[in-house]
Amino acid sequence: MGLKNRGRRSGMKVGRGEAVPRRDRNGGGDGARRVRSVGGAVIVLCALVAALVALDYWSNAGAVYRGVEVGGVPLGGKTPQEARGALEERASGAPGEIRLTGPGGGLVLDKEEMDFRPDVAASVEEAYAVGRKGNITKRLGERLRAAFGTVGIPLKVG
């Protein structure tokens, strides 16, 4: 076997009478290894984030995210039906009259006179939509606010 064939098998490049180490197919050197290791770390990080997002989605499927409240009523972890029941219970216990006072005197309004009707269905729908509707940045922002604080939604009145 000639010198050229021996060099190819051993990973050496033969040129003009001397054997020179052969570069690997991806450009070789430490720079290429560093790029591959950083690329691998980025792929692992993306996979981890995707797994956490999927776990969060499946653990909260069919329920209002924790940290969401409507009109001061915490609805986190409740299904839309349970949330509707909690809001209806709170709305039925609303005071029968509202007193407004000012420098010129006061005014008393009955909730029947004001035609006070909370829109429980729309309020629950908005609470369930927190972290689920809008572009990705809006959804993630709302989801993080609910996870680490409270997202308060005013009770809708119809």
Block means of pLDDT (10 residues each) for the chain, length 158 residues?
52 56 56 76 92 84 93 93 92 74 83 79 95 90 91 88
pLDDT at 24: 53
Domain range annotation of the chain: 3-59, 68-95+112-153
pLDDT at 65: 92
pLDDT at 27: 53
pLDDT at 31: 65
Distance CA 97, CA 64 (A): 31
Distance CA 64, CA 80 (A): 7
What is the maximum span of the chain, computed from C-alpha positions, in angstroms?
A: 113
